[in-house]
Amino acid sequence: MDAPYSVGEAAKPRSRATRGRAALEQARLIMLVMINVAQLWILAATVEAALAHSYQEMWPLVIASGICWLISLSIILWWRPASRRYTSTGYVRERR
């Protein structure tokens, strides 16, 4: 039975480009999750080093966390699925 509020059309088979974009989004997601887990571990190690007054261990950990942050920033800002209409900087190409 069709619901009265149901509008739109049935799902079409996904194109190759759509499948590629989905795979890329999935890869971005997995990388970001891994970076977050690593940063969580680094934060725990930083707290332990701070409590132990081990300053020579603390700063490399902060730098490592910063590098992780830069990687995740680059993934979010630049490593995106390309579109035929939208460039990586968000610019919309005119249709030909």
Partner 1 sequence: MSFKNLDSEKLKPGVSSDLSDERDVRRAIAPHQHDFPYERDEEAQVTRREFCNFLALTSTALFVSAAGVAGKAALDSRSEQSFSPMKIEGAEALAPGSALNFRYPTEDETAILVRAADGQYFAYGQKCTHLACPVYYEQQRQRLECPCHEGGFDVRSGNVLYGPPPRPLDQIVIEVRGGEVWAVGRKAGSHGRSV
Interface residues with partner 1 (CB under 8 A)? 3-5, 7-8, 22, 25-26, 28-29, 32-33, 35-36, 39-40, 42-43, 46-55, 58-59, 61-62, 65-66, 68-69, 72-73, 75-76
Q: Which is nearer to partner 1, 2 or 94 (CB)?
A: 2
E strand segments, 16-79? none
What is the nearest approach in angstroms of partner 1 to the Cβ of residue 27? 10
Residue owning tokens 């950990």: 61
What is the nearest approach in angstroms of partner 1 to the Cβ of residue 96? 27
Distance (Å, rounded) from C-alpha 46 to C-alpha 20? 39
Tokens for 89? 């900087």
Look up residue 94 and give its DSSP letter: P
39, burial (CB in 10 Å: exposed 0-12, middle 13-18, buried 19+): middle
What is the nearest approach in angstroms of partner 1 to the Cβ of residue 88? 15
Q: Which is nearer to partner 1, 52 or 82 (CB)?
A: 52
